[in-house]
Amino acid sequence: MDKDKRSTGYSLSVNDTSHEISKSWLGESLLYVLREKLGLYGSKNACEQGECGSCSVLMDGVLVCSCLVLAANATGRDIKTIESISDDDSLTDVQKAFVDAGAIQCGFCTPGLLITIHDFLETNPEPNVLEIREAISGNLCRCTGYGRIVEAVQIVSKQKSVGQGGSDDSS
Amino acid sequence: MEFHIASSTEEICSLLAEDPTREILAGGTDFMVEVNFRQKDPSAVIAIDRVPELKQWRHDGDAVSIGSCVTYREIERGPLSTIVPALAQSARTVGSPQIRNIATIGGNLGTASPAGDMIPVLLALDARVTIRSINGSRDVAIDDLITGVKETSLADNEFIEVIKVPILKGPQEFLKVGPRNAMVISIASLAMVTDPEQTTVAIALGSVTAAPSRAREAEEYIQGFLDWDAMTVSSSALPDFRRLVAEASSPINDHRSSAAYRTHAVGVLGQRALLRIFESRDDG
């Protein structure tokens, strides 16, 4: 048996930084490790059953609920959290659109929604409303009623289409 | 803490042979909920979600062989969505994008919930499941694998390797009732698949029986009322067809729904699926 696989610790690559995780309990979730061991509080802990999406992260570029990932099984995978969404202190296009559209109220669901929408717009830069609603169907927001969140996604999509020389036929 | 990341099916076999109490972890979307809610306290786990052969699917004669760790997303979005359309429809109704990105077809079978949404589709399609252990492989039907509520015939040293799904040329439907369109555990579901070459209709029910169940009387009854060339069904057959589908269910009352509603709903789903595939004709 490979001894590394039986050790009590493991390493995680989070936002391009390698961390040694020790004093581990086998069942600990990636969300628990991110928040309680690495001090990355952007991923929120609410339902712990994958219902709310507020703990969403990217694992090897795939959007997942970090509460449903066994932390030890994230070894050797590239984890990106909301903390990595911007290179500096400036807002990303999606963050700015959230502010402009008034898509934030209490803010608890916002990190999960931002990472979800960034991921979604990369694969589908010009979505229709149904596609937007399906993409954010795993992120619960109890304040906004989603209308302004959908609007924020549309703002970014329109900006991207204009930025890439796409036609702006909505005027 | 004992945790293994398996890299091949042979390694899974030997790890289970060495200690059959080790638990299998695939996508984790059911497993981790139990852990997070302290219903499960794992002491030894084998993660199988990085085993290359379990993450692939391939054509296999008149069937597709789907590795047990193929995700819902791949079934929903990839080429499988046109090869086994009802399976893709069921995959799309499960959880959210985050769940579908990681949850697996093998996990849906292994969890063996009556509300597992792929189960009725696989049963209607007569899919076969390859079970593997250090002693070799065996092939079982869906209703031989899943024997009751969260109960399977898997021995402790066995794991689900491949699901072999026949490719049919006729239209297929998967329909499901729940309180919203996303993140929904089925109250009632139904899969209907057609085989125009054999002129057969197969119907399986979800969330309304303890173990996977076909609506065989309804399947046989409707045969006499179908026109396979025109793809029509006699409208006079619909009330009895709906009743026979509903009678194939034996649901329970629980916090999600009453048994009476489930029985009614599954009959409605049967008729709806039938009329999406066959146009209603008035025989006068």
Residue B284's pLDDT band (cuts 50, 70, 90): low
Report, as an integer, the average pLDDT of B149-178: 97
- Pick among B10, B96, B183 to test the A interface (most A CBs inside 10 A): B96
Cβ separation A63–B101 shorter than 8 A:
yes
pLDDT at A88: 84
User: Does the pLDDT of residue A142 top 80, yes or no?
Assistant: yes
Residues of chain A with pLDDT > 90: what percent? 83
What's the mean pLDDT when you consider all of chain A?
A: 91
Cβ separation B98–A26 shorter than 8 A:
no
**Which chain A residues have any C-beta within 8 angstroms of a chain B C-beta?**
1, 5-6, 8, 10, 24-27, 29, 48-51, 53, 56, 62-65, 67-70, 72-73, 75-76, 116, 120, 134-135, 137-139
Cα–chain center distance at A101: 20
| pLDDT tens sequence across A30-72 | 999 999 999 999 999 999 999 999 999 999 999 999 999 999 9
pTM of the model: 0.94
Residues of CATH 3.30.390.50 domain(s) within chain B?
Answer: 172-281
Cβ separation B42–A26 shorter than 8 A:
yes
pLDDT at A125: 96
pLDDT at B72: 97
Report, as an integer, the average pLDDT of B54-82: 96
Residue A2's pLDDT band (cuts 50, 70, 90): very low
- Pick among B2, B3, B14, B25 to test the A interface (most A CBs inside 10 A): B3
- Pick among B18, B36, B69, B100 to test the A interface (most A CBs inside 10 A): B36
Residues of chain A with pLDDT > 70: what percent? 91
ipTM above 0.90, yes or no: yes
For the segment(s) B172-281, the CATH number from 3.20.20.70, 3.90.1150.10, 3.30.390.50, 3.30.300.20 is 3.30.390.50
Report, as an integer, the average pLDDT of B88-95: 96
User: Does the pLDDT of residue A4 top 70, yes or no?
Assistant: no
Assess contact for B112 and B152: CB atoms under 8 A. Answer: yes
pLDDT at B184: 87
User: Does the pLDDT of residue A5 top 80, yes or no?
Assistant: no
pLDDT at A171: 38
Cβ separation B95–A50 shorter than 8 A:
yes
Cβ separation A67–B4 shorter than 8 A:
no
Domains present along chain A, CATH in parentheses: 3-83 (3.10.20.30), 93-163 (1.10.150.120)
Q: Supply the CATH classification number for the domain B2-166.
A: 3.30.465.10
Per CB-CB distance under 8 Å, the chain B contacts of A49 are 33, 36-37
User: Does the pLDDT of residue B88 top 90, yes or no?
Assistant: yes
pLDDT at A165: 58
Smallest Cα distance from A153 to chain B, Å:
17
pLDDT at B181: 84
Residues of CATH 3.30.465.10 domain(s) within chain B?
Answer: 2-166
